[in-house]
Amino acid sequence: MSLSRRLTLSLLAILLIFSLNVGTHFWGSFARTESMNAYRESVSAQQLSTNIGLQLEEQRKQIRVLATLRETTEERLSEEDQGRATDNLNGISDSVTRLGRTTHEVTRPQYDALWQATEQLLPAWREFYRNYNDNGWASPYGAPDVPEMYDDVREKLVVLEDRQSFISDQQATIIDQTISLTDRITAISFLASVLLSSILGFFLIRYTNNSFSRLKTGTLRIGSGDLDYRIDGIEDAGEIGDLAKAFNDMSEKLRNAIEEVRQAKDDADRANEAKSSFLANVSHELRTPLNAIIGYSEMLYDEVEDEGVVDRDQFKNDLEKIIVSGKLLLSLINDILDLSKIETGKIELYPENFSAPELLEQACHAIQPQLGKNNNSLSMELDDKLPLFFNDATKFRQIFINLLSNACKFTRDGDIVVRASRLDGDDNLALFEVEDTGIGMTPEQQAKVFDAFVQADKSTTANYGGTGLGLAICKDFCEMMGGSIDVESEPGRGTNFRVSLPLQAHAQASDHEAA
């Protein structure tokens, strides 16, 4: 197992335990909050039940006193007193209603029984107040305070209070149990994370020390000129193993390089000449957007420092130019990095299922600004019956973005056509074409158009810019994906790039990566 995988797995294990700690904490907080809310509701319901009992008791005493006065005196009850009494009864009714809103589902049957009892008692008391001044009225219930109904209400209220008290005790117990459980889980998780981190750290340190010790010995031996020495005993399928293999390969290659030094020098001279030309071109291409970014940034800075009114439209225009220049600079850097990865063999193929027409539409959408800049029109002729591809979708998209960008750059006031169809005679190949009506190329220019660091000729670089990397990257990507690319062109009559790619990832891709 590679060092990066060991480190990754160790980090994931620690993060998993940390996530467990965090999850336990939040779960405990949520559970405690829910239990506490339920406990508060139970306590509130108990308090409201107690208040209802006191209100009922006070109202009954008042009715008894008024009943005695009615029998012994002829004093009448004023409308104000009747209204106040009615308000008190309505208050009791409202309190019972509020109690229903705070009642737990477990105590719902007891509350319903209480509600029915109060719905019988309170109307009887209202009737007493309403007929108090009628000397001929007698309570149909035997006594104005309706003792049987009152006792029934009190009994059901006591049952409800007992049930609410039981629920409150249960919620308090649940809160205590939740706190105890979360504390234990948190402590166990913390100890486990400390133990696991220590074990992983110990083995990683021992593993890396042994591996780097062998690498150091091999480096010293090879560096001293012992090209027969080989670094062995490193059980690593990743970076360290690759490094040891690289040292061993380097030793072997150094032996061969001594015999081929003259040829290598000649090849290096030619490569340096080509790359010197490329550096001259790319330095100009990089300076252009950089100068624009710096220049407009300084202009914006000066305008911000100015105490006058800021021209927002001009600001927006300058910022758009900075963004465009930044994207151009990023595109140039990406091309250089892609080619660097290809040359060093560090770029890989990642096959996946994708729809070619859908990705072609995305590529066409990406180059819309360039179309408008050169007043070009773009059309697509796609075969809707193309099956799904199993290949590298990212490289597929980049191939056609590069081809379309190239067509836009060398075409003005012209037409660009993208075609896609099955290749005749081969069910596993699809043919794609990007045709333009631009400046075209001579046969000599076509012969070197796919070479890295090279454009058609020096006048092309002077007139249209560019680094000469886009088509070279397209060619490498096509070959990696198991396909090919060629060009047909005539000066002044446009250019047609033809790309053939397999529907399924081809073995040629693996061979290319191995090379």
Residue owning tokens 């900075």: 322
Q: What's the pLDDT band for 498 if we cut at 50, 70, 90?
A: very high
| More confident: 27 or 90 | 90
Judgement on whether residues 65 and 126 belong to the same structural domain of the protein: yes
Domain boundary residue among 321, 344, 367?
A: 344
pLDDT above 70 covers a percentage of the chain that reads: 84
**Is the residue at 51 inside a domain?**
yes
Do 179 and 278 share a domain, yes or no?
A: no
Confirm whether 267 is domain-assigned. yes
Q: HEC profile for 95-161? A: HHHHHHHCCCHHHHHHHHHHHHHHHHHHHHHHHHHHCCCCCCCCCCCCCCCCHHHHHHHHHHHHHHH
pLDDT band per the 50, 70, 90 thresholds, residue 239:
low
213 found inside a domain: no
- Among 11-15, 50-54, 62-66, 92-96, the range scoring the smallest mean pLDDT is 11-15
Per the CB < 8 A criterion, the answer to whether 129 and 86 are in contact is: yes
Query: What angle do the packed helices 147-223 and 3-72 form, to 10 degrees?
Result: 170
Structure confidence at residue 453 (pLDDT) = 66
> Which pLDDT band holds residue 484 (cuts at 50, 70, 90)?
very high
| Cβ-Cβ contacts under 8 Å for 491 (sequence gap 6 or more) | 439, 440, 441, 442
In a domain, 201, yes or no: no
Mean pLDDT is lowest, of 278-292, 301-315, 378-392, for 278-292
> Residues 320, 461: one domain?
no
d(CA 317, CA 304): 15
Least confident segment among 127-141, 330-344, 431-445, 492-506: 330-344
Is residue 510 one of the residues assigned to a domain? yes
Amino acid symbol at 175? I
pLDDT tens sequence across 423-478: 776 778 899 999 999 999 998 888 888 887 665 555 554 455 556 678 888 899 99
359 lies in the same domain as 330: no
More confident site: 211 or 294: 294
Which pLDDT score is estimated for 168? 77
| Residue 120 predicted with pLDDT over 60 | yes
Give the structural domain span for 321: 261-344
Lowest mean pLDDT among 72-76, 327-331, 355-359, 451-455: 451-455
Same domain (yes/no): 337, 369: no
- Residue 221 identity (one-letter amino acid): R
Residue 185 to residue 24: CA distance in whole angstroms: 7
Q: What's the N-to-C CA distance of the chain in angstroms?
A: 24
Higher pLDDT, 487 or 136: 487
The overall average pLDDT reported for the chain is 80
- If asked whether residues 137 and 53 sit together in one domain, one would say yes
Could you tell me if 368 and 497 lie in one domain?
A: yes
Sign of CA dihedral 452, 457, 460, 462: positive
Looking at 344, 374, 391, which one is the last position of a domain? Answer: 344
Q: What DSSP letter does each residue of 191-258 carry, written as one string?
A: HHHHHHHHHHHHHHHHHHHHHHHHHHHHHHHHHTT-TT--------SSHHHHHHHHHHHHHHHHHHHH
Q: Which residue has the tokens 């480190």?
A: 7
Answer for the pair 348, 513: CB distance below 8 angstroms, yes or no: yes
Same domain as 185, residue 49: yes
490, part of any domain: yes
Residue 391 contacts by C-beta under 8 Å, 6 or more apart in sequence? 349, 351, 352, 354, 481, 482, 501, 502, 503, 504, 505
pLDDT at site 162: 85
Average pLDDT over residues 314-335: 76
- How many beta carbons lie within 10 A of that of residue 209, not counting itself? 10
Q: What confidence category does residue 507 fall into, taking pLDDT thresholds of 50, 70 and 90?
A: very low
- Clarify whether residues 373 and 508 are in a common domain: yes
Nearest to 382 by CA among 341, 332, 339, 418: 418
Nearest CA among 452, 66, 103, 80 for reference residue 277: 452
Please tell me whether residues 183 and 317 are part of one structural domain.
no
Q: Give the model's pLDDT for residue 512.
A: 44
* Number of domains composing the chain: 3
pLDDT tens figures, 284-293: 567 767 777 8
| Calpha distance 134→144 (Å, rounded) | 14
Give the CATH number of the domain where residue 308 resides: 1.10.287.130
Quote the pLDDT of residue 310. 67
pLDDT band at 510 (very low <50, low <70, confident <90, very high): very low
